[in-house]
Amino acid sequence: MKSVKEISTETKILNRLRNNPVCLELVNYLFNDAELQEMQEYANNVSIRRLGYNDHGPVHMRQVVGNAIKMLNILHDFGIKTSLEEEEIGTFEDSMCAVIMAGLMHDLGMSISRQGHEKMSALLAQPIIDRTLMHMFPNDLHRRVIIRAMTTEAIVGHMSSHKIHSTEAGIILIADGCDMTKGRARIPLSINTAPKVGDIHKYSANAIKWIGIHHGERKPIKIDIEMISEVGFFQIEEVLLSKIDASPAKKYVELYAGVEGEARKCYL
């Protein structure tokens, strides 16, 4: 059974896609895919209970999708084309389909191992990608091929360990880095109490109060972060900034962060 947080996040995603019937059908199909749901939940079990990491399950993957949709729509509002559009090989809708699928499947590999999980995610995702695209575009081989390839690039590239070249994959990279609020660290902090190397990631994520993604002032996308303590700067500087630096979409992003009640620090 889906959690309240999952359902709430799905509702926000559906609302953001209400004017895009194709992507709305796609995301509804994936939200109702029983195998994908089981894979997401098992990946989260391994991540939290076995490995002691933050949430990498259904809620996180939906949060990444929501972030990516918001950023891709902002670029669209500014008239900035995606890579598929720029190369005249696909449409904005095709790009959005790829971003949605990548977001919902990028951490499936956590069910196997943390090390190299992005490649394992791509491997585990392929059957779901194929059946989803066949459902959506049964008579359009071209769309199935380009969306599958773009989805795979975004999955493999979401850890910035594999160089990516498309705006779409770059958006997923940043969208993943933006999911680092305190709710993501709540469960692992309560379960794994023994100190261990890597705890800084949980404690720093727990210091992030909220993250806003808006239309920017100097650049199209503005990411604004508020934290309850300075330990949150670790999450921004060691995780989010490294992902933005490796993203082809970096040139479209401005980034601000600060402790509540204090002036924001401008990173980009």
- What gap in Å lies between CA 184 and CA 126, rounded to an integer? 27
What is the CATH class of 4-177? Answer: mainly alpha
Among the listed ranges 38-52, 84-98, 174-188, 210-224, which one has the minimum average pLDDT value?
174-188
Domain parsing of the chain, residue ranges: 4-177, 182-266
Q: Residue 215 belongs to what H/E stretch? A: strand 208-215
- Determine the pLDDT at residue 180: 87
101 with 30: CB under 8 angstroms? yes
> Which residues, in sequence order, are bridge partners of residue 227?
208, 259
**Torsion of Cα atoms, 61 then 161 then 94 then 36, to 10°:** -30
Query: 221-227 and 253-259 as β-strands: parallel, antiparallel, unpaired?
Result: parallel
- Mean pLDDT score of the chain, rounded to an integer? 92
Percentage of residues in the chain having pLDDT higher than 70: 92
Among the listed ranges 9-13, 59-63, 112-116, which one has the minimum average pLDDT value?
112-116
Of 185, 17, 34, 44, nearest to 99 by C-alpha is 17
Q: Name the range with the highest mean pLDDT among 46-55, 175-184, 258-267.
A: 258-267
